[in-house]
Structure 1
Amino acid sequence: MAELRVLLTEATSASAREVLTVLGRRGHSVDVLHSGGVSLTARSRWVRRRYPSPAFAADPLAYLERLREILTSAEYDVVLPTHEQLVALSRFADEFDALAGLAVPPFAAVRVLQDKAAAADVLDRLGLPQPATRLVHGTGELGAVADLLPAYVKLPVATSSRGVWLVENPEQLAGIAELPAVQETFAAGGAVLVQQPVSGTLLMVQAVYDHGRLVGAHTAIRRREGVQGSASAKESVVRPDVVEHLTRLGEELQWHGPLSIDAILDEHDQPRYIDVNPRLVEPVNAELAGADLVDRWLTVSRGGQPGPLPAARSGIRTHMLLMAILRHAEVGLGRRAIAGELMAAVRRRGWYAGSAEELLPIREDPVGAVFLVAITGLLLVSPALWKRLGGNGPPAHTLSPEGWQRLIG
């Protein structure tokens, strides 16, 4: 593919960093919008220009106005929404599609997946397996689901693990029922989703669609957990059953652009889908496995035809050292574990033998080493500092429930 001028919609998520890596390796010219916070793309040699913007989480409409200004003053071949900016762009798809290549789904389909209760209903209607799930519409009804405990209680719009609670006993359930966000959901006529946990391995699923047709797919197993439930190590797998499920879901929603799903592989090796997100999540493992997701996303964004699904390879191992180090701090393992993790990576031992770094490829983009050393140094001084690295409140690149109401209001 010839060099393209690409604009990424945010600079702070792991997904943005990995999309940047794929684009940089393939010689594309990349600019980013940046709303503050810890930026994984900061000082990367692959970023040509950084545009300051309002925080998307605080005010998606102000963010969109800034994006509109940029696209009318500079020429881009493609805009890639690397996080929940896809949701907002879908709301105004015709306008932004006229300014640059863009692949976003119909807003009606986005509204279905943004509401976890509605998404669960669609999965059930299509026969896609889920954990035991119940939708509740009031405080009394929520108190009556004690038979499902332990269970996750999820708000209709929840992101980055916010608005999701693991409830283990009726007392905790009663407390959740009184939370303002839960009461506001019931008052607005919405439903809260209650879902039983499933024991098993996390399966990370990614897809790219062309107006309902599946044109890209990848599955990977989380081999090691990272900070806040992320994956510090992945291994690609081939799952024809998941591809068939993705095909049905895309056709039902007439999805256009990227989509990601989390699933748990149960004791029978059956995927049980637990979360659907309108974006592409951390695509480097997929690229190394041959799934070609980012190129296919670019092609669809420009109205091209990507061709048949490529044969992705299983057994491709990748890791994110930063997420592993932060995980040790999160669970209180302390300095010894952090230093040991760093040494294992340097010596290519344990999981790091035969595995590729996917988040901060320092040999190709050396600024990643500065970032990694700085964060590791802070944690070695005080492991508790990991909490401050994430900041307070929702990340600037995510869509809050308040932001969602502004979009649909």
Structure 2
Amino acid sequence: MPELRILLTEATSASAREVLTVLGRRGHVVDVLHSGGVSLTARSRWVRRRYSSPAFAVDPIAYLDRLRQILSSTEYDVVLPTHEQLVALSRFADEFGELAGLAVPPFDAVRILQDKAAAAGLLDRLGLPQPATRLVHSPDELRAATELPAYIKLPVATSSRGVWLAGDEEQLAAVAELAAVRETLASGSAVLIQQPVTGTLLMVQAVYDHGRLVGAHTAVRRREGVQGSASAKESIQRPDVVEHLTRLGAELRWHGPLSIDAILDEQDRPRYIDVNPRLVEPVNAELAGAELVDRWLAVSRGATPGPRPAARAGVRTHMLLMAILRHAEVGHGRWAILRELAAAVRRRGWYADSQEELLPVREDLVGAAFLVAITGCLLVSPALWKQLGGSGAPAHTLSPGGWKWLTQASDRSG
């Protein structure tokens, strides 16, 4: 593939960092929008230029104005929405697609998957397995639920926010009193009650060309990281999941990237629990030969990718930063952090046959600087993980207010 000029829509998510790693290794010219704060991406040696921008989570209108200004004044071959900017760009696909290569799905399809209640209905209609799920429409109906323990999910939420686990009636009543839950129900929207499934977390990634599956990858979480992330992954082959992806993309006429989380239950059956309209952390897929980023670039430019490659099973990757933060999160303390670092340096345990996916410190020293700084902070005070891991909505996510504006804009234009 020739060298391309590429603009990433944000610089703070782990997914943006991993997309940048793939692009940097390919030799592409990469610029990023950056809203400030801690970023593993913005100061990488693979980034040519950083544009300041309003935070998408705070003011999506101002953010889109800034993106429009950049694309109108600087020529790019492709713009890659690495997080929920894809949702907004889907709403304005005609306009932004004229400014740079862009692969986004129809906004009607995004509306289905962005709403967990609508997504659950779609999975049922297509016969794709998910945990037992039902909808409730009032606080009293929620408090009366008897299928405990259960996850309570807002219909529109992101980055594991808007999801609570209620283990008993007291915890369920507390969730029902949360302002976000009460506001959702008062607006006429439903809240989901979903049964937990015991098993292994499966991470599914796909790229589509107007409904046709052109790239797919599956990996399992081998070690949990901070806030439910994966600090270690291993690629596997799941033909059944690929068939499900094919069916889902064709139904939605999906165009561009898609990621799904599932649980492999005790019978090794996938149960789909979350669908995300973006490409999540693609380095494991890249090392396994799935070529997801290359295929995303191709469909963004209107090219037709060749036959879909079969990703190799058994490719192991890790995120040392997420493992270190996890030790602090669960209260393991300083010695656990030091032991984790020693295992990584000596390439022992999981690290013996695994590659770093988030911070390739030998190729990009900004990763080493962040790792040293964050580890130093945690060794001084492990409780700092809360500030480092983040508790509020990240700048790159779509707020409920932003989603309301996008849907109302779509309704007005329709």
TM-score by length of 2: 0.97
User: CA 1:391–1:311 in 2, change beyond 3 Å: closer, same or farther?
Assistant: closer
Q: Report what 1:200 is aligned to.
A: 199
Q: Report what 1:61 is aligned to.
A: 61
Give unpaired runs (5+ residues) of structure 2.
409-414
SS of alignment partner, residue 353 of structure 1: helix
- Conservation of the 8 A alpha-carbon contact between 1:129 and 1:272: yes
Report whether the alignment pairs 1:296 with 2:266: no
Letter in 1 for 2:216: A
Report whether the alignment pairs 1:16 with 2:16: yes
- Conservation of the 8 A alpha-carbon contact between 2:325 and 2:389: no
Q: Report what 1:77 is aligned to.
A: 77
Q: Report what 1:363 is aligned to.
A: 362
Instruction: Indicate the RMSD between aligned Cα atoms, in angstroms.
Output: 0.9
SS of alignment partner, residue 246 of structure 1: helix
Report whether the alignment pairs 1:179 with 2:178: yes
Structure 1 distance, partners of 2:28, 2:371, is 25
1:48-127 aligned at under 5 Å gives the runs: 48-127=48-127
- Conservation of the 8 A alpha-carbon contact between 2:15 and 2:281: yes
- Conservation of the 8 A alpha-carbon contact between 2:55 and 2:63: yes
Q: Report what 2:412 is aligned to.
A: none
SS of alignment partner, residue 156 of structure 1: coil
Structure 1 distance, partners of 2:36, 2:366, is 18
- Conservation of the 8 A alpha-carbon contact between 2:184 and 2:191: yes
- Conservation of the 8 A alpha-carbon contact between 1:60 and 1:407: no
Q: How far has the Cα of 1:302 moved from its partner? A: 0.4
- Conservation of the 8 A alpha-carbon contact between 2:226 and 2:389: no
Q: How far has the Cα of 1:43 moved from its partner? A: 2.1
Post-superposition CA distance 1:262-297 (Å, at most 9, x none): 000000000000000000000000000000000000
Q: How far has the Cα of 1:21 moved from its partner? A: 0.2
Structure 2 distance, partners of 1:342, 1:197, is 33
Post-superposition CA distance 1:25-76 (Å, at most 9, x none): 0000000000112101132110000000000001111111100000001000
Letter in 2 for 1:226: G
Post-superposition CA distance 1:348-405 (Å, at most 9, x none): 0000001000001111112211111111111111111111113452000011112211
SS of alignment partner, residue 219 of structure 1: strand
Structure 1 distance, partners of 2:373, 2:387, is 14
Q: How far has the Cα of 1:188 moved from its partner? A: 1.9
Superposition misfits of 4+ residues, deviation over 2 angstroms: none
Structure 2 distance, partners of 1:95, 1:166, is 41
The number of residue pairs the alignment matches comes to 408
Post-superposition CA distance 1:117-155 (Å, at most 9, x none): 100000011000001111111122212322x11000000
Structure 2 distance, partners of 1:17, 1:405, is 28
Letter in 2 for 1:13: S
Structure 2 distance, partners of 1:382, 1:408, is 43
SS of alignment partner, residue 204 of structure 1: strand
Structure 2 distance, partners of 1:307, 1:44, is 31
Structure 1 distance, partners of 2:140, 2:96, is 44
- Conservation of the 8 A alpha-carbon contact between 1:226 and 1:326: yes
Q: Report what 2:243 is aligned to.
A: 244
Q: Report what 1:128 is aligned to.
A: 128
1:254-333 aligned at under 5 Å gives the runs: 254-333=253-332
Report whether the alignment pairs 1:345 with 2:371: no
Letter in 2 for 1:386: W
Q: Report what 1:235 is aligned to.
A: 234
Structure 2 distance, partners of 1:408, 1:122, is 19
Q: Report what 1:372 is aligned to.
A: 371
- Conservation of the 8 A alpha-carbon contact between 2:34 and 2:50: yes
Q: Report what 2:385 is aligned to.
A: 386
Structure 2 distance, partners of 1:127, 1:258, is 22
Structure 2 distance, partners of 1:236, 1:74, is 38
Q: Report what 2:145 is aligned to.
A: 145
- Conservation of the 8 A alpha-carbon contact between 1:61 and 1:407: no
Letter in 1 for 2:356: E
- Which range moves more in the overlay, 161-170 or 17-26? 161-170
Q: How far has the Cα of 1:308 moved from its partner? A: 1.6
- Conservation of the 8 A alpha-carbon contact between 1:37 and 1:391: no
Letter in 1 for 2:292: L
Structure 1 distance, partners of 2:31, 2:301, is 18
Q: Report what 1:161 is aligned to.
A: 160
Structure 1 distance, partners of 2:174, 2:384, is 29
Give unpaired runs (5+ residues) of structure 1.
none
Letter in 1 for 2:235: S
Report whether the alignment pairs 1:31 with 2:67: no
Post-superposition CA distance 1:235-273 (Å, at most 9, x none): 000000000000000011111000000000000000000
SS of alignment partner, residue 372 of structure 2: helix
- Conservation of the 8 A alpha-carbon contact between 1:285 and 1:318: yes
Letter in 2 for 1:323: M
